[in-house]
Amino acid sequence: GQNLTFRAPDFEKFPCLKMAYEAGQLGGTAPVVLNAANEVCVYKFLEGKIGIKDIIKTVEAELENHKLIKNPSLNEIFEVDREIRGRLK
């Protein structure tokens, strides 16, 4: 049989992974912001409109500038998602 070896993630090499862990720990609307910003940026990257490092910078800026809602309603979640996507398009 084959063995699998797991290592701690390299957050230096994968900064978006670190942001995802942090957003998950913060909870509330932080994961919504991360997801919406990342999705818009990935599409822009695939269309050749931004560089790979722009994804990191944009997601980080959106998380830093977001006023966290700790226990959001479903409507607040949708509202935050629309706000992020609308601003970044």
**Does the structure show a pLDDT above 80 at 1?**
no
Alpha helices, DSSP H only, in 9-73? 15-26, 30-46, 52-65
Question: How far apart, in whole angstroms, are the C-alpha atoms of residue 80 and residue 64?
Answer: 14
Phi-psi category of residue 43: left, alpha or beta, with phi > 0 → left and psi -120 to 50 → alpha: alpha
Q: Quote the DSSP letter at residue 12.
A: T
* Predicted confidence (pLDDT) per residue in 53-89, tens digit: 999 999 999 999 999 999 999 999 999 999 999 999 9
Say what the pTM is.
Answer: 0.89
* Predicted confidence (pLDDT) per residue in 5-60, tens digit: 999 999 999 999 999 999 999 999 999 999 999 999 999 999 999 999 999 999 99
Q: What confidence score (pLDDT) does residue 11 get?
A: 94
